[in-house]
């Protein structure tokens, strides 16, 4: 849906809002007031007109459900397009370029106000702590001006894309001032607070901000900590109140502010990150990147268990893992730009042959480096004077031949066996896979998956017929249920061995990515199932690519046999 907006005063969305700490937890009025109502503020002596593509007038209550469709956690391409179109018309600063989601509208607004290209914009490589975060922190430290607040927020959001709610404090001293104010507020509220809430608030007051960040888990899910005067509700309310007070403290410079990385966390935060601006300005870029990498690892970890008598720190486990492993894996590949051929997506009009799939896999293998050991063995022969010539061993002017053994990455295949895949589809896909393995003359690793994944199996194809290998496949247990790709991403990322393999998902693409940015494996590709309606495959592949673009901008280039 596209919109036509007229007689509207271009707006700047303000994320600061106050939700009551008692009563039913209902963020909808705050969402309406924060996101929708600014788009209906008229020019002087005018009435705002908002029309849809059928020239039907729309009211704020018509727009709110479309906003909510972009906040469900799964990417809705139609709602995304509609809201981005509306925001680009109604906000002073908003960019439709790049791969930012509507859920990241505040980051988009901040970056556009500073003329920063959005992540995924063609020609843009990536943002980094050295070139963007540190200069942004220094600028904010020097002036505390609103434009520098926006610049610092955008630099963090564009570089690290954390799905959390953040608050920044200018320095340790600024945070100490907040602690004094916070203690006064808690003492005032104490008579009406539950014992568990008061206990956690006192423990929060004891926290210091001597490092780059401090982070907490507030909720284990969206239905947790919603009761009257819960710790999460009171803490976020007080932080918002303090930022609101700072905003009205003119002409004094602001020493605290909000970092609304995503809208979903703004109105119902599961986690909280406190940021020390001065330390971001003066600490090495390597330490800053490592800090936020640990935060993102913690955010992507499984559901955490909360203890009502103890503060749950978000990064406690990842920090321990990082300390043991020395450094976390680098996940910056998602920030790479989409340019050239990868940016021009054209889907095939007919299903690919096995030759098309083979050529696509071969191209992918050629782009990968050799490994120390694998099931994918090949030999190289080269001329060398170190070895005598076989035909004339006494002639030292004729080189001999040396043959050496080399290893290309293993092929690891994940076959979709969810409810939408029939037995015929499965058999067709597996037989195609067997023929590919025999042509490549390799053994292969195999998993079936739905919303769960089977155990990994190594299948030997050497000196066996297609029918013999198929009978072995039939002995492997298959899982069934829904479709879930994200488990494959996590499974591959969890192992350096699997990360080096050429991984191939064979599926019907009937899956949509969440808004959360789980790192996409560098060597993972996708191919279509056999014996399925091609128009249906293309339809789901288009929706799949649109939903994953914010995670892997070049996802279309990973579709083997689907993209022309």
Residue 88 token pair: 């680009």
Burial 425-446 (b: 16+ CB within 10 A, else e): bbebbbbbbbbbbeebebbbbb
Distance CA 139, CA 135 (A): 6
Average pLDDT of span 378-404:
81
| pLDDT classification of 15: cutoffs 50, 70, 90 | very high
Give the position of tokens 């990064």: 315
Band of pLDDT at residue 357, cut at 50, 70 and 90: confident
Backbone dihedral region for residue 115 (phi beyond 0: left; psi -120 to 50: alpha; all else: beta): left
Looking only at the bridges linking them, the beta strands covering 502-507 and 411-416 are parallel
Q: What does DSSP say about strands 376-388 and 271-276: parallel, antiparallel, or unpaired?
A: unpaired
Q: Which residue has the tokens 């990968």?
A: 368
Q: What is the dihedral of CA 120, 546, 83, 34, to 10 degrees?
A: -70
pLDDT value at residue 475: 80
Torsion on CA atoms 343, 348, 351, 353, rounded to nearest 10? -70
The larger pLDDT score, comparing residue 239 to residue 253, is at: 239
Selection from 440, 317, 303, 455 nearest residue 378 by Cα: 440
Query: Which run of H or E residues covers position 114?
Result: none
Per-residue pLDDT band for 372 (boundaries 50, 70, 90) equals: low
- Choice among 128-142, 149-163, 274-288, 360-374 with the minimum mean pLDDT: 360-374
Burial of 165 (0-12, 13-18, 19+ CB in 10 A): buried
d(CA 205, CA 173): 14
| Residue 210 scores a pLDDT above 90 | yes
User: For residue 337, what pLDDT band results from cuts at 50, 70 and 90?
Assistant: very low
Residue 250: which pLDDT band, with cuts at 50, 70 and 90?
Answer: low
Helix (H, G, I), strand (E, B) or coil at 283: coil
Give me the mean pLDDT over the 80-104 stretch.
94
The structure tokens listed for 219 are 């909720």
pLDDT band at 373 (very low <50, low <70, confident <90, very high): low
Please name the helix (run of DSSP H) or strand (run of DSSP E) that holds residue 181, with its range, or none: helix 172-189
pLDDT of 160 above 90: yes
Question: Could you give the percent of the chain with pLDDT greater than 90?
Answer: 53
pLDDT higher than threshold 80 for residue 302? no
Structure tokens given for 466: 């297609």
Sorted by sequence, the CB contacts under 8 Å of residue 332 that are 6+ apart come out as 126
pLDDT score, position 223: 87
Stretch 77-99: mean pLDDT: 93
Q: Count other Cβ atoms within 10 Å, centred on residue 506.
A: 25
> Domain-by-domain residue ranges, the chain?
4-332, 341-369+409-558
List, for residues 431-454, the tens digit of each pLDDT value. Answer: 888 888 888 777 888 899 998 998
Give the span between the Cα atoms of 183 and 232, in whole angstroms.
16
Cα–Cα dist 99/79, whole Å: 15
Q: How far apart are CA 298 and CA 292, in angstroms?
A: 10
From 3.40.50, 1.10.10, 3.30.870, 3.30.450, which CATH number describes the 341-369+409-558 domain? 3.40.50
- Mean pLDDT for the chain overall: 86
**pLDDT (average), residues 262-283:** 95
Of 150-154, 254-258, 263-267, 371-375, least confident by mean pLDDT is 371-375
Instruction: Among 159-163, 203-207, 440-444, 479-483, name the one with the lowest average pLDDT.
Output: 440-444
At 327 the pLDDT is: 40
SS (H, E, C) 245-277: HHHCCCCCCCCEEEEECCHHHHHCCCEEEEEEH
When pLDDT is averaged across residues 329-351 and rounded to a whole number, the result is 56
- The percentage of residues in the chain with a pLDDT greater than 70, rounded to a whole number, is 91
Q: Which of 13-17, 319-323, 487-491, 499-503 has the lowest mean pLDDT?
A: 319-323
């Amino acid at each position: 849906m596209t919109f036509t907006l007229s007689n509207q005063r271009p707006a700047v969305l303000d994320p600061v809002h106050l939700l009551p700490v008692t009563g039913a937890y209902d963020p909808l009025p705050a969402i309406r007031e924060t996101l929708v109502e600014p788009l209906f503020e008229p020019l002087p002596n005018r009435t705002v007109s908002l029309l849809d593509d059928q020239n039907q007038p729309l009211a704020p209550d018509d727009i709110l459900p479309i906003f909510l469709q972009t906040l469900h956690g799964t990417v809705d391409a139609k709602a995304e397009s509609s809201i981005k179109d509306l925001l680009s018309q109604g906000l002073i600063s908003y960019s439709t370029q790049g791969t930012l989601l509507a859920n990241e509208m505040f980051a988009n607004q901040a970056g556009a106000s500073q003329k920063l290209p959005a992540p995924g914009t063609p020609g843009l490589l990536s943002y980094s702590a050295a070139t963007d975060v540190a200069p942004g922190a220094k600028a904010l430290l020097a002036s505390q001006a609103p434009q520098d607040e926006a610049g610092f927020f955008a630099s963090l959001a564009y570089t690290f894309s954390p799905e959390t709610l953040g608050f920044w404090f200018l320095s340790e001293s600024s945070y100490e001032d907040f602690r004094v104010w916070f203690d006064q507020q808690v003492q005032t509220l104490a008579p009406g607070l539950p014992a568990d809430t008061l206990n956690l608030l006192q423990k929060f007051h004891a926290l210091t901000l001597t490092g780059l960040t401090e982070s907490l888990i507030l909720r284990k899910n969206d239905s947790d900590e919603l009761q009257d005067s819960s710790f999460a509700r009171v803490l976020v309310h007080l932080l918002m109140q303090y930022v609101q007070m700072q905003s009205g403290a003119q002409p004094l410079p602001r020493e605290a502010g909000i970092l609304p990385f995503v809208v979903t966390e703004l109105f119902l935060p599961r986690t909280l990150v406190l940021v020390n601006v001065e330390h971001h300005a003066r600490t090495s870029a390597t330490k800053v990147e490592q800090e936020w990498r640990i935060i993102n690892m913690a955010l992507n970890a499984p559901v955490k268990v909360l203890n009502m008598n103890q503060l749950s720190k978000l990064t406690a486990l990842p920090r321990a893992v990082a300390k043991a492993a020395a450094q976390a894996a680098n996940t910056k590949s998602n920030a790479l730009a989409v340019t050239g051929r990868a940016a021009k997506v054209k889907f095939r009009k007919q299903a690919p042959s096995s030759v098309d799939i083979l050529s696509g896999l071969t191209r992918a293998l050629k782009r990968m480096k050799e490994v120390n050991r694998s099931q994918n063995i090949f030999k190289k022969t080269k001329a060398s004077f170190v070895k005598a010539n076989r035909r004339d061993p006494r002639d030292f002017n004729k080189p001999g031949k040396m043959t050496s053994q080399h290893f290309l990455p293993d092929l690891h295949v994940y076959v979709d066996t969810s409810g939408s895949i029939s037995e015929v589809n499965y058999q067709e896909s597996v037989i195609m896979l067997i023929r590919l393995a025999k042509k490549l003359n390799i053994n292969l690793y195999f998993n079936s998956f739905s919303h769960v994944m089977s155990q990994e199996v190594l299948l030997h194809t050497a000196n066996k017929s297609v029918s013999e290998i198929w009978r072995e496949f039939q002995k492997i247990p298959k899982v069934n249920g829904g479709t879930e790709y994200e488990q494959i991403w996590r499974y591959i990322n969890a192992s350096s061995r699997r990360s080096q393999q050429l991984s191939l998902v064979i599926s019907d693409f009937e899956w949509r990515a969440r808004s959360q940015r789980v790192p996409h494996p560098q060597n993972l590709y996708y191919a279509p199932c056999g014996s399925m309606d091609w128009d249906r495959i293309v339809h789901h592949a288009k929706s799949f690519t649109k939903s994953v673009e914010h995670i892997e901008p070049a996802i279309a280039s990973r579709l083997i046999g689907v993209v022309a």
